[in-house]
Structure 1
């Protein structure tokens, strides 16, 4: 997962649900994306392991304006948001569990 140098901030209005208390894993998916299913399992598992972390899956085809705004060009794409909704990391393709956990450490900071 790479750092994100933009100043993007997402909230409940864009995501359709509340942010996690400590961090949010946002997954952009599409209907016929096999890696999206594997990514969903990884993110769901990691979110369950870390208190205050939410996993939100967004159908890229149903949210084209947001996809264009965030320059999402493939699925799955994962954004890691801090508690305020700032994008701190992003990755395209199926992420490794260890990379997601490391990115969450950056978003959450010290417990």
Structure 2
């Protein structure tokens, strides 16, 4: 993978206790098959591009939702998940388990590939 491109690798050890994120944590309904969760901040330029990429992928794949969370408004969740920068993307499976995570702006092809682990 080229330098600077985030790896949508396995969720890691900092996943939430219980290992699941649902509508209560996300502030929105998760997708039936998978959910792309994006942590953003107001003045983050890469967050805007990431928003477009994730929205396009969610529109392409039936049952996949894109949920954007303002990191500054949800510091509790940011701390619980070990989010250190924006954008950070989490890929959740149908049960709300984190199966992949990446910090930085992902490539569309990597997001699509990461969905394979979730659906």
Q: Scaled by the length of structure 1, what TM-score is found?
A: 0.95
Name the counterpart of 1:102: 113
Residue 4, structure 1, aligned to residue 11, structure 2: yes
Give the match for residue 81 of structure 1.
92
List alignment gaps of at least 5 residues for structure 2: 1-7
TM-score by length of 2: 0.89
- What is the Cα deviation at residue 17 of structure 1? 1.1
Any idea what the Cα deviations from partners look like across 1:14-48, whole Å, max 9, x if unmatched?
Answer: 00111100000000000000000000000000000
CA RMSD of aligned residues (A): 0.8
Point out 4+ residue stretches in structure 1 off by more than 2 angstroms.
5-8
Map Cα deviations across residues 61-106 of structure 1 (whole Å, 9 max, x no partner).
0000000000000000000000000000000000000100000011
| 2: CA distance, partners of 1:89 / 1:35 | 19
SS in 1 for 2:72: helix
Q: Which runs of 5+ in 1 are unaligned?
A: none
